Structure 1
Amino acid sequence: MINIKDYEDVVFPSDFLWGVSTAGQQIEGNNNSFYDDEETAPKKPGYVMAGKACNSYNMYEEDIQLIKAMHLNTYRMSLEWSRIEPVEGEFNQEAIEHYHKVLSSLKREGIKVALTLHHNSHPVWFEKKKAFHTMDNLDYWLRYVKLAVQEYDQYVDYYLTLNEINIVFEYSRDEGINLLQYHAKAYQLIKQYSTKPVSLPLNYAQKQPMRAYDEADQIMAQYIDYMEQGFFINAIRTGEIVVPEHDALMIPELKDSVDFWAINVYIRQLINSRKKLFRFDHYNATHFHSSDEPFFSDEICPEVIYNALHRLSDKPILITENGIATTHDRYRIIYIASMLQAIHQAMDEGVKVLGYFHWSLLDNWEWGSYMPKFGLATYDHETYKRTLKKSGKFYGAIAKEGKLTQDIIQQFYK
């Protein structure tokens, strides 16, 4: 295990964004998106619908107080399209006003807002129209984006359009190509009504050959890295989408359609060319049980975030998600400290990092399960009372001081 008691003190810039991230589908409750509908919800064993989730739709003020208690200056949250337009062409004024209340409350508390317009969930009616699997639905998407920007731009500091669209390429290249175009059109539309910076969060996992010098592992790791990350980075940098089994597609408005890189970073993936399930191996020497049930975050690899920052150093970078699912809160303290050390080292070497958002504020619904515990705070599932964990207090102490020091580490990690 990493020994954070050996770390040197590091100081972050005074304008560094200390934040936390959530998604409405995962915390609000009774969202009525396609994830909550019997007909359209994912068909997988053990799938549990979100239900009331963390009841944050009704308890957003309590969430804001948690953010304040941690001395954070920024909150990444999402609008839920399924609330705003539950029926095609019919906008819910109560929901629109609700988000005004949430966002204005954040502004009153001096908390900056990174607003995600689509964090994986959308209305049932949109899903039934094949959602992003077709370009025929572009007008519906842009109508929603326009409404969101016109309603809420006064509160927003950063826009994030569509969350982690590069993951789609694992199972649908056509949809992934569509999503890049949906983003490009949204970027252009936002710029008509706002001067705020806009980005598109990339899910980043370092693809590492299981056996460092095995040619097959190397080739597969390089291929998978390109298919899940490299094509995305190249498309944003050049406007050209280049993927196997498709003619290259040039979309001029896609080029430079992010004002900063937004990255969600958690893990590395060891690529084993000898197995059908090639991305799920681990090294016994660095593997640990973070939760009672196996989950993907059973290793702490700060070098992944360091390497990601250097790879994307041509633009400022905002780390929009980073966290660990664990029932052992000490691991989360180690995780946060090690990631901040890696981030600071990259910054010392010239990478412009705007800020760090931890995932997540609360132990929330994780796309069909309540088992993974990502939260800096937990809650009672009957009363929904929030309680900040020691890791939340640790992160809060760092944010308050703007630095990670041995004094802070010794206070919370004993």
Structure 2
Amino acid sequence: MLPALALAVAVTVTAPPAAHARTGPAPSAAKASKTAKFPPGFLWGVATSGFQGEGSFPDSNWTRYVKRKATGISDPYEKSVDFLHRYPGDIKLARNLGANVFRTSIEWARIEPRPGVRDPKAIAYYDDLIRRIRAAGMRPMITLDHWVYPGWVADQGAWDNPKTQADWLRNARFIVDRYKHQGVIWITFNEASAYMYKELTMRPMDLGQLAAMRTAIVKTHRAAYDMIHKIDPGAPVSTNVAYGTALNGIFDAALFNEVTDKIDFIGIDYYYGANAENLTAGYALTGEFWKIDPEPEGLYYVLKSYQRRLPKLPVYVVENGMSTDNGKPRPDGYTRSDHLRDHIYWIQRAMADGVKMIGYNYWSLTDNYEWGSYRPRFGLYTVDALTDPSLARRPTDAVATYRSIIANRGVPSGYVPVRRPGWCSVEDPVATCFGTTPTPPAAYRIPAR
């Protein structure tokens, strides 16, 4: 909790989170409920990131963190899941799901390993990656910064140095110019709050450096938004915000609150919530994501809340998924398929209640390097990165489930979530603590807790 408090101190200059508007009684999934089918042309995607999946990574802040075993590093990185050489097959796996969006990052450290020197082999790799994504009938969603920068940027002081802003924008301009007019959906910074937290603990930084990083990222996003629209007119641009339960006001203050006039859609990453019956979200602070009891209904309230704040913008769930402990079944029997269906159900409820959804990405296509460990498994396809030299992609139960959801534009009418909604949710305390929630226990296979 101390790192989060430090982050709070650094961003107190921004406004507190908007108060939750009363939405009436908390929705009961067990009763007949209003849901909306996903529209034709809805953006169904899978997500990954360059550093986490590519393997064989050049000098960067993160290869250095791994090498010196910084806070939270437990596993060596090595080849990761070798997306660098296996991307053609992984793109086919995504397309066979019926996905029409493939999200990844184009890594600055690979493109420009030395100041002003671009690697032609890296550029050829990314050119072919984008070409294959488009040839498979999918739109690329390109993240320009997924927490990783070149080693030479680290040497010049990273975001402490104002020069990094100019260097970052120069690299971003090169990438945007190279892949303009190809239907790209652009993400500038991935989860700025988590980016800042990781740098705070990994570099590490003091509060002055943290505040400087925040200021730099805000300025850089705003400049990048204008630059992208000039070079690639009509392309949607945003930054995906990590939802953080009781700390969400702090998370939003990292970047989102300062750039709501410079985004074309609301990008939300939702993994966990909290309510009076479920306080397991605290395991996120220790990296033990598999110990968190999911709160699918929290996504309904989160989507409604962000839509109220920015009613003119559409909403995209840029990341959503569930971790298991090294691929083992959860003790409560809740499966990846259950988790996926339950969250899709609550998105359909939110759409029926006015949320303007345009897209959903599952995190992630395959298991990958979760910032220091291969133990948390998020993949639709599981990969034993440390023990299987072949790095085989083995489908989980959720592969067929996601394929069915995409083909049928959602879960069936009358679907009842596997997990019962909890009482008194952090996501909307007015509605859920004081509203009525008739939820017959027999209608659910797994209780809220």
Q: Same fold (TM over 0.5)?
A: yes
Q: Aligned match of 1:268 in 261, 270, 273?
A: 273
Structure 1 residue 378 displacement after superposition: 1.4
Matched, 1:361 2:365: yes
2:220 to 141, 164, 182: 182
Q: Separation in 1 of the partners of 2:139 and 2:185?
A: 8
Contact 1:169 1:227 in 2 (8 A): no
Residue 344 (structure 2) aligned to one of 323, 336, 340 = 340
Task: Report the Cα distance in structure 2 between the residues aligned to 1:200 and 1:160, rounded to whole angstroms.
Answer: 5
1:228 aligned onto 2:251: yes
Task: Note closer, same or farther for the CA distance 1:52–1:408 as it changes in structure 2 (3 Å cut).
Answer: farther
Aligned partner (choices 25, 29, 46) of residue 20 of structure 1: 46
Aligned residue for 1:95? 122
Name the structure 1 match of 2:299: 305
Asked whether the 8 Å contact 1:62–1:386 carries over to 2, the reply is no
TM-score between both structures, scaled by the size of structure 1: 0.80
Corresponding residue number in structure 2 for 1:279: none
For 2:378, the equivalent position in structure 1 comes to 374
Q: Which whole-Å CA distance do the structure 1 matches of 2:242 and 2:405 have between them?
A: 25
The superposition leaves residues 162-183 of structure 1 with CA deviations (integer Å, 9 ceiling, x where unpaired) of: 1111235655233122211111
Q: Residue 175 of structure 1 aligns to which amino acid in structure 2?
A: M
Q: Give yes or no for contact 2:45–2:360 (8 Å, CA) kept in 1.
A: yes
Rounded Cα–Cα distance in structure 2 between residues aligned with 1:394 and 1:369: 27
The code of the aligned residue for 1:397 comes to S
For 1:319, the aligned partner's letter is: V
Shift of 1:155: 2.9
Deviation string 1:329-365 (CA, Å, 9 cap, x unpaired) is 8521111111111111111111111111010011111
Alignment check: 8 A CA contact 1:199 1:262 kept: yes
More displaced, 348-357 or 227-236? 227-236
How far apart are 1:5 and its partner, in Å? 9.7
Task: Please say if residues 47 and 369 of structure 1, whose CA atoms lie closer than 8 Å, have aligned partners that are also in contact.
Answer: yes
Greater fraction of residues in strand: 1
Cα distance change on mapping 1:41 and 1:126 into 2, 3 Å? farther
Following TM superposition, by how much is the alpha carbon of 1:39 offset from its aligned partner in structure 2, in angstroms? 8.7
- How far did 1:295 drift? 2.7
The amino acid that maps onto 1:298 is I
Deviations 1:180-209 (A, max 9, x none): 1111111111122012110011111221xx
Q: How many positions carry a matched residue from both structures?
A: 363
Residue 366 (structure 2) pairs with residue 328 (structure 1): no
Contact kept, 8 Å, 1:204 with 1:263, in 2: the verdict is yes
Distance 1:100 1:45, change over 3 A: closer
Other structure's SS at 2:181 match:
helix
**Would the aligned equivalents of 2:238 and 2:267 in 1 still touch at CA under 8 Å?**
yes
Per the alignment, do residues 286 and 189 of structure 1 end up closer, same or farther by CA in structure 2, a change over 3 Å counting? closer
Q: Does residue 393 of the first structure (1) align with residue 400 of the second (2)?
A: yes
1:40–1:124: 8 Å Cα contact kept in structure 2? no
> TM-score with structure 2 length normalisation?
0.74
Unaligned runs of 5+ in 2: 1-27, 201-209, 418-444
The 1:47–1:125 alpha-carbon spacing in structure 2 relative to 1, beyond 3 Å, is farther
Q: Describe the superposition over 1:118-141 as per-residue Cα deviations: whole angstroms up to 9, x where unpaired.
A: 111111111222222332311111
- Give the percent of matched residue pairs that are identical in Structure 1 and Structure 2: 28
